Structure 1
Amino acid sequence: MFDSKSYFQMIEKSPIPTFWKDANLFFSGCNEAFLRMIGTENINELIGRKDLDLPWGENWQSYELDDVSVLRTGKSLSKLEEIPSPQGRVVISETQKNVIADGSINIGLVGFCREMASPALGLQQGPRNGPAAGSSDESTRAPSNPSLSDKLEALNLSLGLDTSKNLAPAPSLSQREGQIIYLLTLYKSPKEISSILSILYGKDVSVRSIQTAINNGLYQKFDVNNMGRLIAKAAAYDLIPSDLYI
């Protein structure tokens, strides 16, 4: 049988970014993969701190609400999260949080992250400026960004999708579909999206219409079956708007 030290070594060397917190929501540890994902080599920048004290502190309330829910109910929770690093890189992570229990007492939680946007896919947020005007010397240009087909093939591989099929062209989106995708990247639920768009349009936009637009519209257009894949594929196509006013 493996002892606790052996299990810790397995987690430490796992390629899955993993972190854990105590019952007061202070970070107690993480593995090497998590440090790489958030862009730091120093675990001391994390240990003993809360989300509020870290580069993603602007989202601390959302993260801690999820943490408290996991600790109180003992139920796992999975959510798409946007995690900024100290270097300004933004990672879109599908994070699953699970309770850590000692008998009947919940003493902390552990989070497993699946990076949905990475430098290899060219999906991080940042300037999208093209080459300088008048620049024509190929030998002096910076390496070009991966082509759309390269991005999608890498994305499909990361999601375990069939890459033998021809990659479809970018789908055409309505203004509302673009707005829904934008709000989904901000972790808004269909109910919250309904409220926001109702205010924006000055008329009722029902929750059901939002759910229909996602399940029967966007999922089919992007050939996906869950929210994480939808956002990742929209990012690969460069179809995530920068704001609501498309």
Structure 2
Amino acid sequence: MNENETRLEGRNAVQEALKAGTPIDKIYVLDGCMDGAIRTIIRDAKKTDAILQFVTKQRLDQLSQTGHHQGVIAMAAAYEYVQIKDILEKAKDAGEAPFIILLDGIEDPHNLGAIIRTANQAGAHGVVIPKRRAVGLTATVARTSAGALAYTPVAKVTNMAQTIKQLKEQGMWFVCADMDGTTMYDLNLTGAIGLVIGNEGEGVSKLVKEQCDMVAAIPMKGQIDSLNASVATGVLAYEIVRQRLSAK
């Protein structure tokens, strides 16, 4: 499966995908085009979580693989998204305290795929990603996850900070990764916990960080002061695994 297989081009293809309930991350529409078919697509898209982006013909031509986009291209997700409640239900069914990995703006599909793979191996019950300014479940993500995406549910939310606040009200604690935080070995990472990983370049956003209960730093002994987002996720996730095992 390659990246192009999640790209739907042309009015009929996009309309049928929306009618069928195909999970779509983003729809590019020719700016200023408002004929009947395009209006229908826009109307139906607004009933979903898809992001509508109005672009120039030049941009559509750049995105097009067929040369026949007819003013609209949709990026369909490789897998369906779930709801937060589904992730919590998975933890409940397993008789375990929830362990969720929340990603605040991961943009590299290879990073997202690797994180989903780590989440699966570390026993996380699910992954949460934001609706905007982040990569969705593309074919590259699915491929990089090495099959883990079939077993690890992913939820997509509009507001990450608000989602964390709501989960805290249900008894969860949240720890975010930041090099200015407390060394991860000195934190209690047991119980119902959410691990928050920030954007590759900017880290965890201020609003999201303010909602977290703890800030964890990974000990650094080298000459550079940061790790790749997926590597940082792995290090912190397995410290959570270690503490959860020790607490039994």
Q: TM-score, normalised by structure 1?
A: 0.30
Q: TM-score, normalised by structure 2?
A: 0.30
Give the structure with the higher percent strand. Answer: 2
Q: Which structure would you say has the larger RCO, counting Cα contacts within 8 Å and 6 or more residues apart?
A: 2
